[in-house]
């Protein structure tokens, strides 16, 4: 890849388009009249005078720091020619672009190995999405119901380690994998705040031919569930349980094909 040579020196012109010999460039912090230093070279160790005095060709070497600037150009007698605000260096702008929500789409990614296909960091990260990507806190204090349901609606659900309080049942659909990151009560824990199942199947109209769902590697604290099941499973669902822990449960689940691998009543 090739690029154009950046301008090694800045040249400034007067109102008639002639080199502004002896002109002045004042540099301020953006939006203010507070002087802000610029530098003579890329090392950023030697500051320019402020204002910067232009040579006979109207030129000067002006290197910006990591900041946003306002520049004012005047004649040698301080007659203003123009003022431009909110100027940043290309490197600072690039960092700002990367820090935006779409910044990961600007960064390439190539997996290791022969035949690997190039992609972007954004595309790679989106291969794994967790409930925290939709605002769940998992701090044992926040109400995470809406965030979790939003991710369940995407089709696949991952609970990183944490305690997720929910204020209503989470509705799962067909072909769903709902998984956590822990095989004990210290891992991924879902805790209903009242007497309702943590998970129930979503009622579809018209009816859908449901296939396999998998619940894996998380825990349910059913201490607030007095009469309901911890999980309700519709008979139309074929559901697999792997390393599911249910604590303090009045009832584990309806139509459970196999007992959860860890169940405390």
12/58 Cα distance (integer angstroms): 5
Give 142's contacts (C-beta < 8 A, 6+ positions apart).
136, 165
Percent of the chain with pLDDT over 70: 78
What would the two tokens of residue 87 be?
């100027």
The pLDDT assigned to 51 comes to 97
Q: Is the pLDDT of residue 214 over 80?
A: no
For residue range 4-33, list pLDDT tens digits in order.
Answer: 887 889 999 998 899 999 999 999 999 999
Candidate from 25-34, 164-173, 255-264 with smallest mean pLDDT: 255-264
Flag whether pLDDT at 201 surpasses 70: yes
Residue 186 has pLDDT above 80, yes or no: no
Whether a cis peptide bond, with omega within 30° of 0, leads into 237 is: no
Lowest mean pLDDT across 20-34, 45-59, 139-153, 192-206: 192-206
- Higher pLDDT, residue 171 or 216: 171
Who wins on pLDDT, 54 or 119?
54
Q: What's the confidence (pLDDT) of residue 143? A: 97
Answer whether residue 182 shows pLDDT above 80.
no
Tokens of 16: 């008639």
Please state the pTM of the whole predicted model.
Answer: 0.59
**Tens-place pLDDT, residues 102-125:** 777 777 888 888 888 888 877 777
Protein fold of 127-263: Pectate Lyase C-like (2.160.20)
Closest CA to 62 of 94, 30, 36, 99: 36
SS3 letters across 98-135: HHCCCHHHHCEECCCCCCCCCEEHHHHHCCCCCHHHHC
pLDDT band at residue 255 under the 50/70/90 scheme: very low
- For residues 103 and 122, give the distance between their C-alpha atoms in angstroms, rounded to a whole number: 8
Q: For residue range 65-101, list pLDDT tens digits in order.
A: 888 999 999 999 999 999 999 988 766 666 666 667 7
CA 98, CA 107: separation in Å to the nearest integer? 8
- In 107-221, where do the E strands start and end? 108-109, 119-120, 139-143, 156-159, 162-166, 170-172, 177-180, 188-192, 199-201, 212-221
| Best mean pLDDT range from 58-62, 96-100, 223-227 | 58-62
Specify the higher pLDDT residue, 243 or 42. 42
> Which single residue is written with the structure tokens 């139309």?
236
Q: What are the residue ranges spanned by the domains of the chain?
A: 10-96, 127-263
Phi, psi torsion values for 103, nearest 5 degrees: -60, -35
- Identify the pLDDT of residue 94: 66
CATH number, span 10-96: 2.170.14.10
CB atoms within 10 A of CB 256: 17
Distance CA 264, CA 220 (A): 10
Could you read off the pLDDT of 129-159 as tens digits, one per residue? 889 989 999 999 999 999 999 999 887 788 9
Helix (H) or strand (E) holding 52: strand 52-53
pLDDT at 110: 82
């Amino acid at each position: 890849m090739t690029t154009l040579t950046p301008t090694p020196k800045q040249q400034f012109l007067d109102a008639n388009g002639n080199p502004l010999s002896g002109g002045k460039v004042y540099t301020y912090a953006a939006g203010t009249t507070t002087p802000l230093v610029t530098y003579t070279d890329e090392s950023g160790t030697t500051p320019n005078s402020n204002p910067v005095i232009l040579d006979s060709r109207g030129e000067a070497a002006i290197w910006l720091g990591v900041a946003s600037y306002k520049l004012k150009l005047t004649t040698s007698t301080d007659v203003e020619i123009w003022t431009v605000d909110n100027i940043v260096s290309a490197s600072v702008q690039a960092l700002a672009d990367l820090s935006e929500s779409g910044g990961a789409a600007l960064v390439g990614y190539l997996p290791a190995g022969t035949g690997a296909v190039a992609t972007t960091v954004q595309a790679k990260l989106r291969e794994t999405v967790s409930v925290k990507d939709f605002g769940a806190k998992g701090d044992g204090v926040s109400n995470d119901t809406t965030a979790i349901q939003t991710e369940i609606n995407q089709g696949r659900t991952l609970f990183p380690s944490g305690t997720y309080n929910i204020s209503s049942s989470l509705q799962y659909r067909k072909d769903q994998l709902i998984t956590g990151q822990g095989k004990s009560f210290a891992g991924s824990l879902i805790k209903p705040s009242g007497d309702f199942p943590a998970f129930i199947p979503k009622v579809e109209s018209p009816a859908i031919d449901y296939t396999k769902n998998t619940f894996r590697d998380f825990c349910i604290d059913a201490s607030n569930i007095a009469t309901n099941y911890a999980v309700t499973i519709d008979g139309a669902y074929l559901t697999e349980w792997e390393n599911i822990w249910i604590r303090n449960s009045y009832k584990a689940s309806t139509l459970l094909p196999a007992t959860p691998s860890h169940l405390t009543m």
